[in-house]
């Protein structure tokens, strides 16, 4: 069931998306600001459009994957006259607010709009490890789902255009939390001339024990109760956490990646929640 699909943006990710569509046998039209990036895809059977407008006209389904929403705005804004009847699938990383604003803008010009968050790096595209979050009108998603499935597993999050960006950023925040903790760990190990390579498997094993932590934490958050069955109370953890800063000082490294969490833990203790679970710190993140 081959479809005509256009891809705007042929950076590392856009090129991977276009390549996956070609491999699946779709008729692919590509456009990129720097035209030379289309060449390898043209060699594989894609059609190169001279302008973004030509690419939009070429296919009912238009996939956009540019650096950021500013670049998406710059590329699409001059071509509002050709958007009617198109489905725009914007896989550019952005915020929920940006996605909702773009959905309204697309609707004003007669286009359907799906926002997406790619949870993969380019070499993972079209492999079983890739998944992509989508949000926007369910009709548009169902119409194009089989084409979109080419990129990786499609996970539809509902008709609020901002939902995909929200969960994309939420997943990335979990990832960056792990990265921050692991970088501090490596700095600590390296400070005594230790081998980070020898230490890494132990860290991996330790982190695997954390895999189900979010599920248990979410139950407490939904219940709004952080005081049940506490085996590692926050007061104890906040006191122990201080050793990170003393050790960092001793070892001559910076503990700046860890400081914000400790400050929140201490505030929560000061507010009288020291006997509860660390998960209650989430209450301090409300504005
Ligand atoms: P690249 O830096 O490789 O490519 C950026 C793309 O944006 C290029 O096509 C570039 O065109 C284009 N671009 C930038 N500014 C403008 C502009 N003002 N007008 C027109 N085109 C512009 O980035 P990626 O392809 O890796 O990333 C694209 C999107 O995918 C980003 O939003 C990113 O967050 C997201 N993403 C990327 C992942 C990754 O691991 N790479 C993972 C998940 C999401 P030109 O070639 O002319 O410079």
If you average pLDDT over every residue of the chain, what do you get? 97
Kindly give the distance from the C-alpha atom of residue 7 to the centroid of ligand 1, in angstroms, as a whole number.
12
pLDDT score at 13: 98
Q: What are the φ/ψ torsions at residue 272 (nearest 5 degrees)?
A: 95, 20
* For residues 39-56, average pLDDT: 98
Give the model's confidence band at 118: pLDDT under 50 very low, under 70 low, under 90 confident, else very high: very high
Question: Is residue 169 within 6 Å of ligand 1 at its C-beta?
Answer: no
Share of the chain above pLDDT 70, in %: 100
Dist. CA 145–CA 134, nearest whole Å: 10
pLDDT score at 140: 98
Dist. CA 12–CA 20, nearest whole Å: 12
With 90 as the cut, is the pLDDT of residue 84 above it?
yes
Q: Which of 41, 66, 91 most suits a substitution to test ligand 1, by most atoms within 8 Å of the C-beta?
A: 66
pLDDT score at 141: 98
With 90 as the cut, is the pLDDT of residue 220 above it?
yes
Give the model's confidence band at 164: pLDDT under 50 very low, under 70 low, under 90 confident, else very high: very high
Atom of ligand 1 at shortest range from CA of 93: 32
What single-letter DSSP state applies at residue 67? S
Here the tokens at position 5 are: 């699909």
Nearest-CA neighbor of 150 among 33, 63, 238, 241?
A: 63
Question: Is residue 278 within 6 Å of ligand 1 at its C-beta?
Answer: no
Asked, colleague to colleague, whether 4-159 and 167-285 share their fold, the answer is no
Residue range 266-284, pLDDT digits in tens: 999 999 999 999 999 999 9
Q: Which residue has the tokens 């979010």?
A: 214
At 90 the three-state DSSP class reads: strand
Give the model's confidence band at 255: pLDDT under 50 very low, under 70 low, under 90 confident, else very high: very high
pLDDT score at 142: 98
Dist. CA 7–CA 248, nearest whole Å: 48
With 90 as the cut, is the pLDDT of residue 1 above it?
no
pLDDT score at 2: 95
Q: Which residues contact 151 (CB under 8 A, 6 or more apart)?
A: 17, 20, 118, 120, 125, 126, 130, 132
Dist. CA 226–CA 277, nearest whole Å: 5
Residue range 178-200, pLDDT digits in tens: 999 999 999 999 999 999 999 99
Query: Would you list the domain boundaries of the chain?
Result: 4-159, 167-285
Give the model's confidence band at 12: pLDDT under 50 very low, under 70 low, under 90 confident, else very high: very high
Kindly give the distance from the C-alpha atom of residue 12 to the centroid of ligand 1, in angstroms, as a whole number.
7
Question: Is residue 125 within 6 Å of ligand 1 at its C-beta?
Answer: no
Q: Which CATH number does the domain 4-159 belong to among 3.40.50.920, 2.160.20.80, 3.40.50.300, 3.40.50.720?
A: 3.40.50.720
Kindly give the distance from the C-alpha atom of residue 90 to the centroid of ligand 1, in angstroms, as a whole number.
12
Kindly give the distance from the C-alpha atom of residue 16 to the centroid of ligand 1, in angstroms, as a whole number.
11
Global pTM?
0.93
Q: Which CATH number does the domain 167-285 belong to among 1.10.1040.10, 3.60.150.10, 3.30.1130.10, 2.40.50.140?
A: 1.10.1040.10
């Amino acid at each position: 069931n081959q479809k005509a699909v256009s891809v705007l943006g042929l950076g590392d990710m856009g090129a991977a998306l276009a390549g996956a569509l070609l491999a699946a046998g779709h008729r692919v039209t590509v456009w990129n600001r720097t035209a030379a990036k289309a060449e390898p895809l043209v060699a594989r059977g894609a059609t190169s459009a001279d302008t973004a407008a030509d690419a939009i006209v070429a296919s009912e389904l238009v996939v956009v994957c540019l650096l950021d929403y500013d670049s998406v705005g710059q590329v699409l804004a001059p071509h509002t006259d050709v958007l009617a009847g198109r489905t725009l699938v914007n896989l550019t990383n952005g915020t929920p607010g940006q996605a909702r604003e773009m959905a309204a803008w697309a609707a004003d010009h007669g286009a359907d709009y799906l926002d997406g968050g790619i949870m993969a790096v380019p070499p993972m595209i079209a492999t079983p490890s890739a998944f992509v979050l989508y949000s926007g009108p369910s009709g548009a998603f169902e119409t194009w789902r089989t084409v979109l499935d080419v990129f990786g597993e499609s996970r539809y999050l509902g008709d609020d255009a901002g939902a995909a960006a929200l969960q994309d950023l939420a997943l990335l925040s979990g990832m960056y939390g792990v990265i921050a903790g692991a970088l501090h760990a490596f700095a600590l190990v390296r400070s005594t001339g230790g081998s980070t390579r020898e230490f890494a498997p132990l860290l991996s094993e330790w982190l695997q024990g954390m895999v189900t932590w979010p599920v248990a934490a979410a139950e407490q958050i939904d219940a709004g109760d952080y005081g049940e069955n506490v085996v590692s109370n926050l007061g104890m953890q906040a006191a122990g956490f201080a050793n990170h800063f003393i050790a960092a000082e001793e070892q001559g490294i910076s503990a700046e990646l860890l400081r914000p969490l400790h400050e929140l833990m201490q505030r929560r203790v000061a507010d009288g929640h020291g006997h509860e679970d660390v998960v209650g710190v989430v209450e301090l993140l409300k504005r």
